[in-house]
Each structure stands twice: as structure tokens, then as C-alpha cells.
Chains A and B, each alone.
Chain A
């Protein structure tokens, strides 16, 4: 969907000549996103540094001597200059090295086990919220100002306003406690993955529902902006079926905004995962993060935050590329 189309495929005659400027634009976008990402990482690094306290002090045992703390500080490399540590961290990133936790393990080692579980949950939640939002947003925009539109708008707003743990508890009481349909906690099998598929349902719904609310509003707004454009009005005058107008004439133009919404959703899903995985005992990165907070393990949290920032940047870059491709075709 997002890979640059091969030259000639579906492009009008003289395609290659038109694709080159597009490629230059895409490269500029990628460079801009990369610059933003490096700036963000530097800001996070500096923030952790400038705030009072550090990982060595935070993980100190009760009654530990100052020399012990200083020794661990040296072991963690906290006594080196900030710029040098940032450079080391950045150069390790392409090799998949996210740094060392306050307990001396590699961040990547700590995350390797739970990561696939969170990835599974996150991808499913993203897919569910995207389909849900497209369906609801499309349904609402076909009846602007009507009852369906107002109800969807209100429900979407409410869904997005609710914190994940409120949604989780409501689902827990409704679908597990009172009806007994689904298991309340996730049991982990020998391979570190959830034991059965029905244990995925509650965490998945708790993560996806607020994001469905968020994306529905973006989809509806983006589609409504398309509705006023001349080519849509023309197809309405031509008497094309409404569903066809929606899917073939409005959706393509709305895709850039929708893609950006989904990209931001991905970041918020990771934040929500910390809460949801704790409540449902789901063995993922979020649960590790919640544990890291209890341990005051700043390097581990910083590593995950930076990984999340990198992931969101990549998704936003994809969204940018979708925009370039869409607008490129239009011109």
C-alpha cells in the first residue's frame, strides 16, 4: 500500500519523468522526519539528565553507601559527558541496542520475550480500530447532521475521553464477572505467550475502544472535507450510488488524514498497553514497563520511550508518503 509504485504501473505516459520529482519530495520528507526524531531523542535524553535524581540513585537499596551508588553510577556510564553518552546511544540504535537497564541487563534482552505478545495485541488493536473507525466514520458522514451522525459523534467522543483502565474495568465486570463469557486474566503458557485466544479479547477491546473513538472523528472530518470537492459533487449529480461515491471518490482523498490519525493511534496504544496489560496480567512490554516504573528503572523506560518515538516517526513517514502519492496522482 505504501511502497512506491513501480514506474509505468498505472501511471500515465511519461511516468518516469513525473516520478522523479515525487521521489525527491519523499526523500525530503524522510530527512525531515529523521531530523525531528533525532531532536526528540536528544530532548528525551536531556530531560532525563537535567531532572534531579538518576538511575543509580533511584535503584539504591535502603542503607546503601554513597560509594556503592557511585560505583554503580560509573558502571552505568552516568559519569561520562552527556553528549558522549547520547552519541554512544544513537550509534548503538541501528544495531538494535537500546542501552542498559539500571539492573545492568540489555534493554533489548528484557523486551525480547514480551515484545511479540505486545506486537500481536497492538497490531490487532490497530486493525480493529481502523476498520471500526472507517465503518463508523463512513456511516456517519453519509447522513450529515442526522440522528446516526450525532449518536456516532457523541459515542466516539465519550469513548476517547475514557481512560483505558475505566474501559477495562467496565469490560471486566460486564463480559467476565457478571456473564462469565471471557476469562478475566491472561494465563501465560510455557512459551511465554497467552494460553488461549479468548484471553486476548478483553485486552484487545480495552485498547481498541478509545482509539476507535479517536479515529472515527478523524475519518468523519476527513470524509466531510472531501464531500465538498467538485469531483464528489459531480458524481453525486451523476446519480452514482452513495456507497460507491464514499469508497471510490471520497475515501482516497481522505486517506492522508486517516493515515496520520492511525499513526498517532499507534503511539497512544503503547501508552494504553501499560495500563491494560497490568490489569489483565497480559505478558507484554506494557507489563514490563509498569514493573520498570515500580523499580524506578529510568534507562529501561527511556529505551522504550525512544523505541516508541522511532516507531511513531516511521508510521508518520508512511503517512507522509501516502499523502505524497495521493496528491501526486491528483495533480
Chain B
């Protein structure tokens, strides 16, 4: 599969030779650095914030001045401090979603590869989930579960993200399940969990790491859209997406109140995505839902 897509049109122009294993590992590291730095900065942010996030330090939508480097928000609170504080909960929720989706999808995906009858059922459920746009599904769950807050958004994002991810894991696990050594182990009477954990799982490392990265990006997307729609964190909280929604009205007075959290979400999504792409085995085939 990967060779077919990588080959492109061989006779039009030969693709450049692949880099060696050591070179590839180095490139992966280089590409993962921005994401790691950004996550560290967001986690350390609350310690670096110069002001309290809930008290006005200047007048509403004040521009840049000596005290508030990025100016004030709609209540005159320090934008810089709020941006520094607003990343940690977003990253925590997105990681939790990515971890849950990857774990569930790994178990179900490997099961589907080893037990084709179950695989067909999983395929059907995945077909079902494609009909429901994720944002709409999450809106629905968050509404029907008032008071669910971040938990409701996280649970809905996990449930809606799993079918897609299972498909990806099953596709990667299927060729491994068909290899001789797995068949030998199965014929030798090994239990199912042994086949899953010892025979198939170790060969899926790079697929799963890339899957985790992509699900993290998706998690950032979902959590921030929900926050933007005021479904997750509630107003006094500093949250990047919520800040954008709250300060959009004052964009002409202090553009930084909107631009700074926007830039933060953009950089997070892009840097983690690039890291995940680098981890993916060779050139990943696009997630074509078929």
C-alpha cells in the first residue's frame, strides 16, 4: 500500500531514493521538537504568567502598554497571562481523548484483524459513524448532558473518533495477522490476548504513534470548537478558544486579544500534526473513508 502510493508515476520522473534508517530517525526528532517545546511552554505557562487571569489590570480592549504586553481583553484582564494559562487544560483534554481513542482502537483493530467476522461488524459501525459530522455529534451530546462540561465533550469525541481509528489500525494489522509467524503461533494454541499483545502489537508501534498524534490534533480541534461554542469550559476560565469567542467583538480595538490565542491554537495543531506525519510509516495513505 505504502509503496504503491509512494511510487507515484514512476516513468514520468523517478522519485528520489529513500533516506536510510538513521537519517529518518533524525528527521523525526527534528520534526517533533517544535511540538514538544510548545507543549512544555503551555504546561509551564501558568508559572510564567505575570498577572492573575481573573482581575483587570488595564481598561477593556486596551492596546499594548508597558504593563500588559499584549494589551487587555474585554474586561481589561491581561491577555498574555491568559494565553499562558489557557493552554494546559486544552492540551490535557486533547491528550486524554487521543489516548483513549488510540487505546480502544488498538484493541478493537487488532481483534478485527485476527477475527474477520468481528471485523465486518466493526466495519459496519464505522460506516455508521461517518454519517455523523463530529462537531454536530459533540454538540448534541454536550447539550443532552447538561453539566457534563469537559467530560461530555471528551466522551463524545472519544466515541466519535474510535470508528475511524479502528479502521486505520485494522488496515495496518491485517497484513501482520496474515503472516506466517502469527499463524504458527495461532496453530500452536496460543491464546488470543497473547497473539494480540506479543505477536501483532509490537509491529504496530509507528502506526500507533502516528495515530496518537493525528488523534491529538483532532482532539485539539474538537475541544477548541466546543469551547468556542461555549459547550466546554465556562467563561471566567482562561481557554484559548473561549478567548477568541469572547474577544471577537473587540478585534478592531485590541487585535492581540484574538490573534494571540488564535496563533497558539494554530501553532499547536500544526506542530503536533507535523510530528505525527514524521512518525507515520513511510508516506501515510490519506485517511480515505470508504
Binding site for B on A (CB under 8 A): 36-37, 39-40, 43-44, 47-48, 51-54, 57-58, 141-146, 149, 154, 157-158, 161-166, 169-170, 172-173, 177, 184, 217-218, 220-222, 224-225, 227-228, 232-233, 236-237, 242, 245, 257, 260-261, 264, 267-268, 270-272, 274-275, 278-279, 289-290, 293-294, 296-298, 301-302, 304-305, 308-309, 312-313, 316
Contact = CB atoms under 8 A, between A and B. Distances in A.
A154 B283 CA distance: 12
Contacts of A164: 225
B16 interface: yes
B281 interface: no
Q: Which of B137, B144, B258 gathers the greatest number of chain A CB atoms within 10 Å?
A: B144
A143 B10 CA distance: 10
Interface of B: 4-13, 15-16, 124, 127-128, 130-137, 139-148, 217, 220-221, 224-225, 228-231, 241, 244-245, 248, 251-252, 255, 258-259, 262, 265-266, 269-270, 272-274, 277, 285-286, 288-290
A44 B133 CA distance: 12
Contacts of B9: 141-142, 144, 224, 227, 232, 236, 245
A225 B5 contact: yes
Nearest to A246: B9
A298 B152 CA distance: 15
Nearest to B124: A36
A169 B140 contact: no
Given A141-B9, A161-B270, A218-B286, A301 B131 contact: no
A36 B262 contact: no
Interface of A is mostly: helix
A221 B288 contact: yes
A263 B148 CA distance: 31
A270 B136 contact: yes
A163 B245 CA distance: 13
Contacts of A36: 124, 127-128, 131
A198 B244 CA distance: 24
Given A220-B286, A224-B5, A260-B290, A163 B265 contact: yes
Contacts of A227: 7-10
Contacts of A245: 9
B258 A169 contact: yes
